[in-house]
Structure 1
């Protein structure tokens, strides 16, 4: 399998991207890489070009660029060229740590949407804490679409189900709808409509509404929501985890010698706690609903996170998830059209 990489995207590119790709190359003997970017910059950090091809990209889409405009005008940028490689079939997946909006735009306009999926959704994997037989869950959408319709969230459930089954190896994933209460009549009218659609679908193991405070407690294997809410919840979880770790450290340092000695004795336990809360161990965010894997990792990612994300992409490709999802949409076209019609008629 071959992965097209935007080597210039991210706060520490190309150094950390190149080093992460080399770690992944050494870990996965069945993966080849195309690194798109400024050749002279990439070669400064590349120690061994075995199974790594460098492709010159004269332009870079910066973090501050307007995403859609940049994708349309910077045709020789590393993001556009990497996405084009996937579209043309010379690569199986596209990876970047760069401008999120530009990655989403390239995925949608260049790689292309699966026919029948109205709006692709951005998916991330988050940790479950202290629950036997479950260590993670999937949440979709976490930022691709701020304005989301009932049909979009319903389709997120279908896509999340396939991801959990094929990539996370969950046999019959429990699907939950993020809401402000667990009762069926909670939320605004759109949330109630989504709830009823999911509850009526026999192909989906719907467990009802879930509250944000229960996410890390294993309330569901897949949690669906609109992109605005999902992004806010994701950043809240990340910020709370960082704040708690900082609070523990500050409290220990301000509590005298006895506390410091105790912390030293618990050093391994603290590292384990920090590792449990680090969702970068599961890789990056996946744009589900496009014709090939498009994966975005955090802009501040270092080499280890890049390597983890490549492992995730490798698993997505090997699982055949996207062709399976595409076939499901084709096979159930009539049913999906009926759902669309029922949503329109209920407005």
Structure 2
């Protein structure tokens, strides 16, 4: 995609809104000067902050929305209350209307998914949307999905997620045939429940249509970066994501406490300052902030609600890259290459899942 990229931002979503989203946009503009913004929210809160960033104000438009979706509201309540007149809905509507290429919000995840699905609708051939996370590994960043949109998934949905995740990897990492693995309790063919086995057979048959099916992967493969795309259902994926975030904070705390333990430790920390700074940056969850809603007729990014301007800048950069690299077009190409009726019927005789 050539020309400017317009990002539609719900600036009222998140713990540090509206300053953090606006400050994050200012930071993004320094690196992507062709970015443009539509800011949705209460104009009396946005205007004074934009006055502090004149370079951002020059490439932005403010759309007033009085209603704000709270973090406590259930998705159904938020959809009834916020449809049409909330900053969250308006941000998504701008994508549907073709005014922006991508929308972003740090607000209520369930409400954002409900509104995005209602407004943009799932793509033809996709049964349910998914949320994909960019996951740092020992090898390189990978894509993990679903991390919370769908609790439980059958074989067809796991195949859909594989197509969506491979399309995201092609758009984000400039890959022709990213490797895809199904998260399972073991790598052996006999392990796992029946819908995971059915999805594996289907993916084996269609491997090469925009991705290369690797096989089953286990939890430790997430950190190794064994494959480019790890596919699972939302319950397992969300637990894995929160566990990884918590472990990163735990390790960082252990390291920080150890380096402050005594004089020699502090001296060693000073001598290793550059290496420790690089490690801190690598373990900083703000640098990989942003979950991509996949499978809709438009791109929506979910920023972590508690992040600051650095995290918002990362999520906005992800939104920009998704639009610049034609994510929707790449997903469409993946759907075209898949065989009709790809998911085989479950077998009559099944083995009990083994660990």
Do both share a fold (TM > 0.5)? yes
One of 15, 34, 38 as aligned partner of 1:11? 15
- Indicate whether 1:221 and 2:223 are aligned: no
- Indicate whether 1:62 and 2:70 are aligned: yes
Partner Cα distance (1:119, 1:213) in 2: 27
> Does the CA-based 8 Å contact 2:170-2:330 persist in structure 1?
no
Q: How far apart are 1:174 and its partner, in Å? A: 1.0
Q: Equivalent residue for 2:28?
A: 24
- The alignment's C-alpha RMSD in Å is 1.8
Q: How far apart are 1:172 and its partner, in Å? A: 2.1
> Does the CA-based 8 Å contact 1:283-1:310 persist in structure 2?
no
Q: Equivalent residue for 1:193?
A: 198
Q: TM-score, normalised by structure 1?
A: 0.92
- Indicate whether 1:232 and 2:239 are aligned: yes
Q: Equivalent residue for 1:98?
A: 107
> Does the CA-based 8 Å contact 2:105-2:301 persist in structure 1?
yes
Q: How far apart are 1:26 and its partner, in Å? A: 3.3
Secondary structure of the structure 1 residue equivalent to 2:186 = coil
Aligned pairs (5 A) from 1:151-230: 151-202=156-207, 203=209, 204-230=211-237
Q: Equivalent residue for 1:33?
A: 37
> Does the CA-based 8 Å contact 1:147-1:227 persist in structure 2?
yes
> Does the CA-based 8 Å contact 2:152-2:235 persist in structure 1?
yes
How many residues are matched? Answer: 338
Q: 1:117 to 1:346 in 2, by over 3 A?
A: farther
Moved over 3 A (4+): 342-347
Q: Equivalent residue for 1:269?
A: 275
> Does the CA-based 8 Å contact 1:8-1:14 persist in structure 2?
yes
> Does the CA-based 8 Å contact 2:163-2:334 persist in structure 1?
no
> Per-residue displacement from partner, 1:68-122 (whole Å, max 9, x unpaired)?
2212222311101111111122221110111111111121111221111001110
Q: Equivalent residue for 1:84?
A: 93
Q: 1:160 to 1:251 in 2, by over 3 A?
A: same
Q: Which runs of 5+ in 2 are unaligned?
A: 350-355
Partner Cα distance (1:186, 1:273) in 2: 36
Q: How far apart are 1:66 and its partner, in Å? A: 0.8
> Per-residue displacement from partner, 1:254-287 (whole Å, max 9, x unpaired)?
3x21112112222222221122223432341101
> Per-residue displacement from partner, 1:189-225 (whole Å, max 9, x unpaired)?
2222122221222323111111111211111100000
One of 291, 306, 316 as aligned partner of 1:310? 316
Q: 1:59 to 1:50 in 2, by over 3 A?
A: same
Secondary structure of the structure 2 residue equivalent to 1:10 = coil
One of 151, 155, 170 as aligned partner of 1:146? 151
Q: Which runs of 5+ in 1 are unaligned?
A: none
Q: TM-score, normalised by structure 2?
A: 0.90
